[in-house]
Amino acid sequence: MSVFDFSCMSIDGEVIPLENYRGKALLIVNTASKCGFTPQYKGLERLWRDYHSAGLVVMGFPCDQFLNEEFSTEEEIENFCVRSYSITFPLFAKTRVRGESIDPLFHYLCNSASGVFGSKRIKWNFTKFLVSRDGLRIKRFAPAIYPAQLRRHIEKYLHEKG
């Protein structure tokens, strides 16, 4: 099993098989529009623009599970992201990233790459998962790790065959 075995709902309501991204490195991030880490959108967009042509796909998964720091509707989320941060990378529908109703993709990611002290749970917004081109190797980065700090990891994954 790999991340390419999952499908996710886009922010526009379209089911997107992650198989569509096979051979690409993925940076999967649970995001929020009203969080102290929200300015990381700027860095995520910069990574997307710098590395997209080399095979990186940045993917934003809005989540409202941490102090309700996300807008109510996907339309509000998308409008905010585009208006405030000029986001062009793929955004997905609001997603549950922990608890009993955790999205299957995030269940897989959390079990594939532990956080600090071996924790499997996502503890806050802007937890990042970098997935290799083959969909099998996953690295987790805490919210306090800013997008620019991921460049060497991204470059390593981009230079590997998928």
Out of 8, 35, 81, 110, which one is annotated catalytic? 35
Tell me 88's DSSP state.
-
Strand ranges, E, within the chain: 7-9, 15-17, 25-31, 56-62, 128-131, 138-141
Active site includes 35? yes
Q: What is the mean pLDDT of the chain?
A: 95
pLDDT digits (tens, 9 = 90+) for 6-22: 999 999 999 999 999 99
| Domains of the chain, first to last | 3-159 (3.40.30.10)
pLDDT digits (tens, 9 = 90+) for 101-140: 999 999 999 999 877 667 788 999 999 999 999 998 999 9
